Amino acid sequence: MKDEMKIMAVQMPVTEGKEKNIETMLYYLGKCEKEHPDLVALPEMFDCPYRNSLFRSYAEKDGGPVFQLLSDTAKKYGIYFVAGSVPELGDDDRVYNTSYAFGPDGSFLAKHRKMHLFDISIPGKQTFQESKTLSPGNQVTVFDTEFGPIGLAVCYDIRFPELFRLMALKGARLAIVPAAFNLTTGEPHWEMLLRMRALDNQMYVLGVEPERDENGRYVAWGHTMLTNPWGVVVKELGIRQGYFTETIDLSYADRIKEELPLLRHRRTDVYEVIEKQPK
């Protein structure tokens, strides 16, 4: 199992028009020719503006054109590709907020359907109800790589520590969170949540946001960020589009677990977090 991994996180603009967003994605993926990352991650709903009215019209089934393009792109650059998230049309005709992961040979490794839907109402600030058009997933997602298991969640999922604890118990030393936090929740909570999930579970956590567009209907927070197993921010972007790369040593997570053995010190005789099988 390899420990040293080079990560590339892309904070891209998301606009009207699937083709335009895909063009932007391909532009940034072209940076792989210079950067040679092991893994690339995109933001939530990278090909679709974050609006209930558009999710179904942009949605595609597994194996559709966008899915195939993402697979081909992973293979072209020989990367692990966590392709943000996209609207997925399920066989049940429901729409899901789904993150796909592909291997360096283009193989489909995993998908995570956002488990916790963003239904909030903060008077005078932010109101959104994903459940008007989206359905929730029901699986803890961890996929295998040559770097060991990697956890995958989408945006609002990060607020639920049980999910990340289950990833840690499955051996994940890195969790990736495509997201689109907004201005209301971004400033007080975004950094705090990434750092706490990393600290609680002694893993790296990468949160990837879109560019902030103050003129958009939904204004994302930006600040794509990587935090380490000690709860420290390693790398951060601002609010404009761009990308960063960072080489991380995943064995650092193993060392922290030995020095401060939180998982071993859990009182499972008193409490326990368990994964249930979907019904």
Which residues are catalytic, by number?
Answer: 44, 114, 155
* SS3 labels along the chain: CCCEEEEEEEECCCCCCHHHHHHHHHHHHCCHHHHCCCEEECCCCCCCCCCHHHHHHHCECCCCHHHHHHHHHHHHHCCEEECCCEEEECCCCCEEEEEEEECCCCCEEEEEECCCCCEEEECCCEEEEHHHCEECCCCCEEECCCCCCEEECCHHHHHCHHHHHHHHHCCCCEEEEECCCEHHHHHHHHHHHHHHHHHHHCCEEEEECCCCCCCCCCCECCCCEEECCCCCEEEECCCCCEEEEEEEECHHHHHHHHHCCCCCCCCCCCCCCCCCCCC
- With tokens 């590339």, the residue in question is 8
Distance CA 60, CA 147 (A): 30
Instruction: Confirm if 206 and 174 have CB atoms less than 8 A apart.
Output: yes
